[in-house]
A and B are shown apart, each in its own frame.
Chain A
Amino acid sequence: MGSIIVKVENVVKSFKDVKVLTGVNLEIEEGKITTIIGKSGTGKSVLLKNIIGIMKPDSGKIFFKDSEITAMTGIELLAVRKNIGYLFQDAALFDFMTVAENISFPLVEQLGIEKQSELKEKVEKLLDLIELPGIENKFPSELSGGMRKRVGLARAIAVEPKIVLFDEPTTGLDPILAESIDKLIEKVNKDLNMTCIVISHDIASTFRRADKIAFLYEGTIQFFGSPEEALKSKHAVLKQFISNSFRPLETE
């Protein structure tokens, strides 16, 4: 077992009277792809937002390596976030900036790179990586959903973080585009050695790419293990979740 890069300890989070997370425990291994699956509205995105510290849990602790994220505020928290990239469900690109400016944003703000030639070179390299060369001057509104997600990924990995969090990276994309995003996640993990935490509803892709699967149900992680172990799991809801995803189309 590799070293633990993120540790979630008994995290509880509620919104008004609705308890979303009721005691999540999770350990993320460095260098692996961990996919969190679960029904819609079970708090998967909330868990990711707690991990990166843009939401605070009501109780419980979250650690990045040895630093407790949940105990940090202000500048301290901003410093830890430099190690974490985040791809939002809708990419969340800055709509008043071009693609190049969006990708340059973390390079300028986090790494302090100001030399235009250096920025240009890095942006070109990242656009090549996501297989979208030549779109530097386009605005997000001119891009398709798949392109926006890929640009969002380029921005998330621009400063070479140690972990990248993916919030439903393939939702709303056609199967071919979804496959290309999956390949990019694999590339980020294998070629760039970044730990990936992915939220996904795409069970088939999860079983192809994930090293570990975490099943979030009723506010807690009810299964954590390898894809092979998930297939053998006796958890009734997980079994139903998996079998429904692989069930062949009914024919007359």
Chain B
Amino acid sequence: MKIFDTIGKFVVNTYKDTWKLIVFVKEIFKWMLVPPYRFNQIAEHIEKIGIQSIIIVSLSTFTTGMIIGLQLVNIMRLLGAQTFAGAGVAISMSREFAPVITAIVLIAKNGSSMTAEIGSMKVTEQIDAMETMAVSPLRYLVIPRIFASIIAFPALTALANVVGVFGGYVASVYVMQVNAVFYSKTMFFWVDADDIVTGIIKAFVFGFLITAICCYHGLKTKGGAKGVGESTTRAVVISTVSILIADYIMTYIFITFFGL
């Protein structure tokens, strides 16, 4: 019976948490429409999320591109179609891997730090202090991060596309000895704007989702250092699972309703 009790509590708590998160997201939408916008803060966060992540995102997606290149050439060689690996790498990178890998890297690098920063402010009463000074923590701390993320995530994803495709090219052409000209020709023939646009739209949604989840968990942190650690872990786990679920839903919508 204990197992049913545990499952029941888990379901109830998940439902309650999800509902609170939906209310929080509704509040975010409301405040996003209310000026003034804190451009200095937004720029500061774009620098942290975007510019300071260029190397790590490039490294991750370059490696991912190389791995996909190796695997695709290896499989397609059996069919004698290894030159099509270029198209395979580019389409899979732009539609799936670039936005997802970028999002996972940014969850680890920035999402966790958002939760930890806001969470430690919460447990040291700095959030309460902000409220006593008639400043909405959501408006001051969350909204600039949201704007920065929905700008930086797509920008980094665009970069990840280029770097990932280059990684695939290096692995396919220089390691697996695929003909460079045919590789590039098939890639440019098969890849179109839809592939890139769907990936960028996904990155935009991931940026919003990750920032909302991480800030939400920061703001509801309780207890001391242990509470901050627990919130950060929860935020990272939930963000990661959420982007994968969101990715599936968006892919289904793009394919089924828009034929993309």
Contacts and interface: CB of A to CB of B under 8 A. Distances in A.
Interface of A: 49, 52, 54, 78-79, 81-82, 84-86, 88-90, 92-95, 105-106, 109-110, 155, 159
A89 B130 CA distance: 15
Q: Range of interface residues on chain B?
A: 10 to 19
B128 A49 contact: yes
Given A54-B132, A92-B125, 11 more contacts: A54-B131, A78-B135, A78-B136, A79-B134, A90-B125, A92-B124, A92-B126, A94-B121, A95-B124, A95-B126, A110-B135
B134 A90 contact: no
A93 B129 CA distance: 8
Interface in B142-179: none
A88 B217 CA distance: 23
Interface string B101-136: 000000000000000000001001110111111111
Contacts of B124: 90, 92, 95
Nearest to A110: B134
A109 B128 contact: no
B59 to A, nearest CB: 29
8 contacts: A54-B132, A78-B136, A81-B134, A88-B129, A92-B125, A93-B129, A109-B134, A110-B133
Contacts of B121: 94-95
B135 A52 contact: no
Nearest to A97: B126
B126 A86 contact: no
B24 to A, nearest CB: 14
A86 B134 contact: no
B127 to A, nearest CB: 9
Contact of B128 (A92, A106, A159): A92
Contacts of A155: 133
B133 A94 contact: no
A155 B128 CA distance: 14
B131 A81 contact: yes
Contacts of A93: 126, 129
A79 B140 CA distance: 16
